[in-house]
Amino acid sequence: MFLCHICPGRASMDSLDLVSPYLFKHRRRNFLVKDKMRPADLDALHHFETRPTDIFLVTYPKSGTAWMQQILVQIMDAAHLGWAEDATNRTHVPWLEERSVDNPSRERPDPRIFGSHLPPDMLPRGVKANRIKVVYVWRNPKDILVSLYHFSHVWVLLETPQSFEGFFQQFLDGDVYMGSWFDHIQDYHKAQDQLNIHFVQYESMLKDLRGEVVKLCAFLEKDLTDEAVDRVVEASTFKSMKTNPKANYKDLVETGRYKGETMRKGVAGDWKNLFTVAQNEHFDKVLKEKMSNLALTCVWEIKE
C-alpha cells in the first residue's frame, strides 16, 4: 500500500490508502479514486436522511444490479400511478456512494429507490433503525468474477486488467472494486436479523423470473394484478432490456463513461469459457475455506 494526498483543489484533503491508481481502501472496501467521494464523504453517508418508504437495492458489483433496477422501476410504475418519469433507470435508482453522475439527495417522489454496493455497517443508520426495505441480489461468484473482468475493460473509472490470470487472483484477494465478495455476502447474512432484507438469487430469476417478481412484490407490499406482473416480467427480460435505452445504460456509453456495452449475456455458467481446470479447482478450494461458516447453494450453470 502507498499513500496519495488529494490535490489542494479537491474538497477533501484526506490521504488515500491506495490499492491501485484506480482504487483506494476504506473500511475494508475498495472505492473509486476517480469518483468524487472520499473517506469522510463515505462516512457521512451513515447520517444520510432516509424516509420510511425508501427502498435500498444492494449488490456486490456485477450481481444483477441493472436487472433488479429494471424490475423495481417497473413494479413501482405499476403500483404508483405517475411515479415513473420519462427517464433512465439510473435516474430512478441513483447510486448512494457515487457523485460522478448523479446526486441521490435530489428531490424525488416517494417511494425513493437507492442503489448501493456498501456493506451493511456503512449504510445510512436509518436503514436499520427504521427497518427500511433492502433488496439484496446475489450471484454465483465465478460468473461475477468473469463479468467484473469484462466490465473492467469498458468502465473508464476502473483499471483495464492486464490478464485474466492476474485479475483472477485479485478477485480472490479482494483487490478489486468494492473488495471481497466473500466478505460482502457474509456481512449481509450476518446482519440479516438487524435488517428488513429480502435476498434474491440471480440464477433463480433466470429460472423463474415471474415467481421471483411475485415474491418481490409481496416483500415490497405492492399488490399487482396478474396482468401487471406479466408486464413487469416482459419488460425485464434480458432481450427486452438490451434494446431499451432506459435500462441498458446506453447514455453512459454515448457520453464516454463506458467504452462499450455493459449488458453482455445475462446467463449462468459463462465462467466456463475463461476458467482453466486448475483455476476452477483453486477457486473451489478458496470458496470452501472462506465460506465455511455460511451454507450457500450456488447455481454454477443453467443450460439453455
Here the CATH number for the domain that contains residue 57 is 3.40.50.300
DSSP 17: E
- For residues 41 and 98, what is the distance between their CA atoms, to the nearest angstrom? 10
Looking at residue 196, its pLDDT comes to 98
State residue 3's pLDDT score: 43
What number of residues does the chain have?
A: 304
Q: Is residue 296 part of a domain?
A: no
Q: How many domains does the chain have?
A: 1
Nearest to 78 by CA among 204, 214, 231, 216: 231
At 91 the pLDDT is 81
Whether residue 304 is contained in a domain is answered as no
pLDDT attached to residue 251: 53
Inside any domain, residue 45: yes
What's the confidence (pLDDT) of residue 43? 97
Confirm whether 301 is domain-assigned.
Answer: no
The residue among 43, 62, 293, 67 whose CA lies nearest residue 182 is 293
pLDDT of amino acid 2:
40
Distance of alpha carbon 274 from alpha carbon 262, whole angstroms = 18
The rounded distance, in Å, linking the Cα atoms of 244 and 231 is 15
User: Is 117 among the residues known to form the active site?
Assistant: yes
What cell does 37 get? 467521494
The per-residue pLDDT for range 147-173, each reduced to its tens digit, is 999 999 988 889 999 999 999 999 999
Q: Residue 9: what pLDDT?
A: 36
Mean pLDDT, the chain, rounded, equals 88
pLDDT, greater one: 186 or 86: 186
**Structure confidence at residue 224 (pLDDT):** 96
In a domain, 297, yes or no: no
Alpha-carbon span 135 to 133, nearest angstrom: 7
Q: If pLDDT is split at 50, 70 and 90, which confidence band does 246 have? A: low
- For 94, the domain range is 2-290
Q: Averaged over 16-30, what is the pLDDT? A: 95
Q: Do the domain assignments include residue 99?
A: yes
Q: Per the domain annotation, does 63 fall within a domain?
A: yes
* Cβ partners under 8 Å of residue 266, min gap 6: 67, 206, 238, 242
Q: Where are the alpha helices (DSSP H) in the chain?
A: 39-44, 65-79, 89-92, 125-129, 141-154, 164-173, 181-190, 202-207, 209-220, 226-235, 238-242, 250-254, 277-290
Checking if the pLDDT of 253 tops 90, the result is no
Strand order in the sheet with 196-201: 113-116, 55-59, 133-138, 196-201
295 in any annotated domain? no
- Res. 7: pLDDT tops 50: no
| DSSP strand pairing (29-32 vs 55-59) | unpaired
| pLDDT value for 205 | 96
The pTM of this model reads 0.89
pLDDT at residue 255 tops 60: no
Residue with more model confidence, 13 or 278: 278
Given 26, 117, 150, 184, the catalytic residue: 117
